Amino acid sequence: MNTDPATTDPATAESADTPNVLGMQIAHRVMLRDLDRTIGVTMAMADGGVDITRRRVRAVVRYLESMVDSIHHHHRAEDDILWPVIELRAGAHVDLTALTEDHEALVPKLDGLAETVRKFGASPSRRSAAVVAGRLVDVRNTLAEHIAEEERDTLPVIRRYLSVSDWQDVETRIRRGANMSFELPRIAAAVSADELSALKRDAGPVIGVMLFLLTPRYRRMEKAIWG
């Protein structure tokens, strides 16, 4: 069975009795996409290529604060919700120690990023923008390595040992603690039409309504940052 997300139709990526991990793959993709985009704009602000206006600064600070909270939530959810289920079902077939240690190593990096974002918001300048950009690069490099390891080692275990019901319960519990007003339009902006349709089918019709209500505000924030 082909499980390469780059070459597989998301609607048929998994068999009926295999967990569809598309949502997890998309969450990882969105985090890296956000880091790349915010690195770009903060570097441009530091270089003088993008104006440091009051409106842009407010939007960048709000976006980065939400992004940091989102990454923290993703990793806490894995530690507290997903890992125990994997350990229960897979037992000795999996060792999550290295991934948990990665999460622990990311905490001070994310906290350091949040602090530089606050300082940038209080005193915006090309210099403080450069500090934020540097922190973002550090987080991005660490997270990219972690995600590659996690997808290589964990996704096959989920597909093999967890039931569809197990996985649906994990995803439901994770969504309950997420900031959906940020997460939903952010995800919708980063996926293909087929992927979005698959996610809507999994999550139910309420997602479409929420996207209709939440997307305009999110797009205004994006416009304030990236134009």
Cα-Cα-Cα-Cα dihedral sign, residues 113, 114, 119, 120: positive
Q: What is the pLDDT of residue 14?
A: 53
Tokens 């918001």 -> residue: 121
What is the percent of the chain with per-residue pLDDT over 70, rounded to a whole number?
A: 93
Q: What is the pLDDT of residue 1?
A: 33
pLDDT tens-digit series, residues 62-112: 999 999 999 999 999 999 999 999 999 998 889 999 999 999 999 999 999
196 or 170, which is more confident? 170
Q: What is the mean pLDDT of the chain?
A: 92
What CATH number has the domain spanning 20-178? Answer: 1.20.120.520
Cβ neighbors of 175 (< 8 A, separation 6 or more) are 203
152 or 204, which is more confident? 152
| Helix, strand, coil share (%) of the chain residues, nearest 5 | 80, 0, 20
Q: How far apart, in whole angstroms, are the C-alpha atoms of residue 80 and residue 72?
A: 12
**Contact 106/114 with Cβ under 8 angstroms?**
no
Which H or E run contains 65? helix 54-77
Q: Smallest Cα–Cα separation from 38: which of 53, 58, 60?
A: 60
**Contact 213/26 with Cβ under 8 angstroms?**
no
Over residues 4-10, mean pLDDT: 42
**Contact 158/167 with Cβ under 8 angstroms?**
yes
pLDDT at 218 over 60: yes
**Contact 43/134 with Cβ under 8 angstroms?**
no
210 or 128, which is more confident? 128
Q: How far apart, in whole angstroms, are the C-alpha atoms of residue 81 and residue 173?
A: 8
Q: What pTM does this model have?
A: 0.89
Q: What is the pLDDT of residue 204?
A: 75
Which of 93-97, 143-147, 196-200, 208-212 is modeled with the greatest confidence?
143-147
Q: What is the pLDDT of residue 15?
A: 62
Q: How far apart, in whole angstroms, are the C-alpha atoms of residue 62 and residue 136?
A: 15
Q: Smallest Cα–Cα separation from 162: which of 20, 22, 29?
A: 20
Angle between helices 97-122 and 126-153 (to 10 degrees): 160
pLDDT at 16 over 80: no
pLDDT tens-digit series, residues 96-107: 999 999 999 999
pLDDT tens-digit series, residues 21-52: 999 999 999 999 999 999 999 999 999 999 99
pLDDT tens-digit series, residues 131-155: 999 999 999 999 999 999 999 999 9
- Provide the residue type at 196 as one letter: L
Q: How far is CA 24 from CA 55, 60, 169, in A?
A: 33, 25, 14
Over residues 153-168, mean pLDDT: 96
